[in-house]
Structure 1
Amino acid sequence: MGLVLKYVIQTKAGTWHYRRRLPRDLAPLLRQNEFKRHLGDTKREALRNYPKVNGDFDRLVAEARRRNSAGLPAETPLEVHRMAERRAQELAGMTVMVGGRMLPGSDPEAADVIRESHLGAHGETDDVEGRAVAILSSGGKLSRPAPTIEDARKLYLKEKVGDDTKKTLELDRVFKLVSEALQSDRTLASIKREDAKEVRDHMRDGRKASSVDRYLNVVRAVINHAIREFDLAGVANPFMYLEADTKDKAEPDRDKRRPFTADELKDTTARILFLANPALQRIWQMLEGTGCRLAEVAGLRVSDVHLDHAIPHITVEWHDDRRIKNAVSRRNVPLIGNALDAAKAAVTAAGNAAMLFPAYGRPNGASSASAALGKHVRAVVTDPKVTTHSLRHLMKDRLRLAGVSKADQDIVLGHSSGSEGEKYGRGQEAMLEVAQRALKAALGIEDKRK
């Protein structure tokens, strides 16, 4: 009785093979029309290997559909090689009849039989299977392809970005521009400084210098990570120290924000307190009274608000629902005046919720709050240099005008002073007192403890 399994054929030479047509819509992406695998030289081997190979087909199709729907490119040569290495190990574990002897697939004679049997059965083979046979025939000495730009992007996505949707979209946006200037299959070792400049120039088309510099920072990080993780000794990152424009040619004033004037702040605050929802009203008052970044306030947890402390304050720190800019940004910020009242009201309104502002303490929540507050700002102030972030610039100016030292300004705003000596000897309680004194001076509130 013959072996009856779907998609299985026996060649004239007596070997068993799995052959199955790929869905027509996926064939261009996979660069093949048919999925082909060698099941073994005997019926028993074919039966044993069939479930695994049939599962490989299902996984290949499922992954191709996912990549196709997401508009992602096909596997790179390096990815194909890695899959082929795993497949070669499977082939090496097979037993092959050679001249009346049963030899493992890893034996050179057996490897030759597998290669000839495979080519005789399939002719043109798919990338993975063909390379797996080549690896087996070479005794595992077939060198890996050099990593490409696309390999670098995928590695960074996997190891650094993960499930962060916002960062994934930014990475895709940046490397779409890179691939438009350079082919994504260019090897990292082949990219020179002139190539990097071509990418920079392509990015500059219709974009602000600040945006291009941000994009170039992403490219630098991706290439640096790839050079390190792929062990590319001697390969330099051609994007290092590459800027959107030279400093003397740049036009920084066009991109800078400015603080609110007194009248602009008064009118904008009045509009927000009259028209915005209660959460946005409280966020606005806390921003004005602390100088924090919007994401720092929108991402606060109720547990980050310390109202019973001798100096009521909020703790700005990294947690799963909010990423702060850097380690220096981790700090305690005193709550004074309207900011304290807003924080108290927010804690009450939050109830049993973990986040202080449940509507905005989520992924992209700060962006939603920024957009909503931005509409109120723009309804009052038409100057594009004035945004919600201008409250932070205003606090910086207030601190300066109040005669607060640069080191103490940095404690309030979460900036690096660049001097370890300024921080030496200052515990958290001492820094909180310093920050409170600085904020009271900036806001014109008398310090009764003097």
Structure 2
Amino acid sequence: MKIDVKHLQKRGVAGWRYRRKIPKELRSTAGKLEILIPLGATEHQALKAYPKVHAQAEQQLRLWSQVQKSPHSGALNVASSPTPFEEFSRSRSQLRALNLDPEWGGPEDEDDAESLMREVIAEQVAEKYPLDTEGNPVGVAAEDRALIHALLLGQRQQRPDPTLEDAKRLYLKERVRDDETKQMELERVFKLVKDALGKNRKLSSLKREDAKEVRDHMLDGRKASSVDRYLNVVRAVINHAIREFDLAGVTNPFMNLEAAPKDKAEPDKDKRRPFTLDEAAAISDRLVSHAKMDLQHIWRILKGTGCRLAEVSGLRVADVHLEHPIPHITVEWHDDRRIKNAVSRRNVPLIGDALNAAKEAFKAAGNAAMLFPTYGRLKGASSASAALGKHVRACVTDPKATTHSLRHLMKDRLRLAGVSKSDQDIVLGHSSGSVGEDYGGDKARLEMARRALEKALAG
């Protein structure tokens, strides 16, 4: 029986769950990006639990909406309220804005000018609040309390230990930024971390035992490969925090922690395989009669360059250089397409059918900024992958063969043509790990890439 119920999702051996994205305008109030609720191990259990869970989700969304509309919503939004470490950092920034020294050591004498200024400002902050019977302000907001402490204590104020939540928020601000897909992944991963550890832990208190507990919790109902990916996120977040928070002596207990021993894990080479030439030809034939022209152009360019799907679907018209002595495309970062890393920025020659496809796509784009307007947007590569995937699966049933298998095929063709490893890396945008890969000009690299592709495609 096929289920077509909104927000109902099957998760392999983990069973069924209710998964619903929270509207953007409510996410800051909710403190998360999705509503995730287990529904049971079987389809029958899921359908039985669904009505009640769906009603609860609707009620929760209404409550978040009411909180957001409330003039005091900031006080009620506990999930996104500042942490003690954030309050401490903010108060020090406020001191600098007031031309006061965050490292002030206290008054030198009873007429110390800075001491008097600090007391006056602290009194002004406290005047906003009512007093108790002993003359002390009550109901002081956390940020005002932190500022008063910073004003009166100076360097005697002890910096709170940053926590996992502080590390996550810093990584979200400085690394993830507005990438919605990575935001959701970060929230999902750290919800698992919190579920495993039970509370928001200080980074300095984390032990290897804690890391293993997180790993084991993640492995409950999930593939080892997925857990390894989640652990990579946790490692990156904690390493970033240790460096940026200057946590001398703090180590990352998630380093070198694996979901499964290497000898038992699925080898990387077995996760995807290259297409055979016959398979690639069969898919090309199917696209001609079943796919829209822009999808055909994307496939043909992928097939003739070995590029990643996002690198082609996100091309701008300005990235296509057809009048150059060596026609090519430029793969680089822009607002509507992220590239994997710095070394992925490169010029890729267009040869044979890939060149013809680029010419046709360039003409079809007209005055558009993007070469493929349907897919040249955030998450456009995912849409292109889903569209191409249907045609791939119609011709090749092996799940290890996907659109990305074209890239593996190009790698094999480069190898079989006797192309050197360094020239393969120039074509595919791989890092060799060598200092020398940063040397040399674009003109020479483009020529080497042209020679390499001509050899590969001639075979």
Q: TM-score range by the shorter chain?
A: 0.7 to 0.9
In 2: Cα distance, 1:413 partner to 1:383 partner = 24
Q: 1:117 to 1:288 in 2, by over 3 A?
A: closer
Paired residue for 1:175?
Answer: 190
Q: CA deviation at 1:364?
A: 0.8
Contact 1:295-1:322 at 8 Å conserved across structures: yes
Contact 1:210-1:255 at 8 Å conserved across structures: no
In 1: Cα distance, 2:447 partner to 2:150 partner = 70
Q: CA deviation at 1:108?
A: 13
Q: 2:453 aligns with which of 411, 433, 439?
A: 439
Cα RMSD between the aligned structures?
Answer: 3.7
1:429 lines up with 2:455 in the alignment: no
Q: CA deviation at 1:201?
A: 1.9
Q: CA deviation at 1:430?
A: 2.7
Deviations 1:61-111 (A, max 9, x none): 35467x58xxx4543232345567799999xx9xxxxxxxxx877179979
Contact 2:88-2:159 at 8 Å conserved across structures: yes
Q: CA deviation at 1:152?
A: 0.9
Q: 1:166 aligns with which of 164, 170, 181?
A: 181
Q: CA deviation at 1:122?
A: 8.5
* Pairs within 5 Å for 1:157-306: 157-252=172-267, 256-306=271-321
Paired residue for 1:50?
Answer: none
Secondary structure of the corresponding residue to residue 347 of structure 2? strand
Deviations 1:152-193 (A, max 9, x none): 111111122222212211211111111111244211101111
1:340 lines up with 2:347 in the alignment: no
Letter paired with 2:421: K
In 2: Cα distance, 1:304 partner to 1:133 partner = 50
Q: Which moved more, 1:311-320 or 1:136-145?
A: 136-145
Secondary structure of the corresponding residue to residue 333 of structure 1? strand
Paired residue for 2:86?
Answer: 79
Q: CA deviation at 1:144?
A: 3.0
Q: Which moved more, 1:262-271 or 1:378-387?
A: 262-271
Q: CA deviation at 1:385?
A: 0.1
Paired residue for 1:106?
Answer: 119
In 2: Cα distance, 1:109 partner to 1:357 partner = 58
In 1: Cα distance, 2:345 partner to 2:454 partner = 21
Q: 1:232 to 1:272 in 2, by over 3 A?
A: same
Letter paired with 1:264: E
In 2: Cα distance, 1:417 partner to 1:315 partner = 20
Q: CA deviation at 1:210?
A: 2.8
Q: 1:407 to 1:222 in 2, by over 3 A?
A: same
Unaligned runs of 5+ in 2: 1-27, 32-67, 101-115
Contact 1:83-1:128 at 8 Å conserved across structures: no
Which entry has the higher C-alpha Rg, 1 or 2? Answer: 1
Q: CA deviation at 1:280?
A: 0.8
Q: CA deviation at 1:231?
A: 2.0
Q: 1:128 aligns with which of 142, 147, 156?
A: 142
In 1: Cα distance, 2:93 partner to 2:442 partner = 54
Secondary structure of the corresponding residue to residue 131 of structure 2? helix
TM-score scaled by length of structure 1: 0.73
Paired residue for 2:370?
Answer: 355
Secondary structure of the corresponding residue to residue 237 of structure 1? coil
In 2: Cα distance, 1:221 partner to 1:87 partner = 30
Q: 1:188 to 1:423 in 2, by over 3 A?
A: closer
Identity over aligned residues, as a percent? Answer: 64
Letter paired with 2:262: K
Letter paired with 1:436: R
Q: 1:86 to 1:118 in 2, by over 3 A?
A: farther
Unaligned runs of 5+ in 1: 1-25, 30-56, 94-102, 446-450
Contact 1:135-1:142 at 8 Å conserved across structures: yes
Secondary structure of the corresponding residue to residue 198 of structure 1? helix
Deviations 1:403-428 (A, max 9, x none): 2222222221111233455786x533
In 2: Cα distance, 1:405 partner to 1:27 partner = 54
1:61 lines up with 2:61 in the alignment: no
Contact 1:288-1:391 at 8 Å conserved across structures: yes
TM-score scaled by length of structure 2: 0.72
Letter paired with 1:76: T
Letter paired with 2:214: V
Paired residue for 1:386?
Answer: 401
1:148 lines up with 2:167 in the alignment: no
In 2: Cα distance, 1:109 partner to 1:283 partner = 63
Contact 1:84-1:131 at 8 Å conserved across structures: no
Give the aligned length: 376
Letter paired with 2:448: V
Q: 1:118 to 1:393 in 2, by over 3 A?
A: same
In 2: Cα distance, 1:219 partner to 1:181 partner = 13
Q: 1:422 to 1:27 in 2, by over 3 A?
A: closer
Letter paired with 2:346: R
Q: CA deviation at 1:368?
A: 1.0
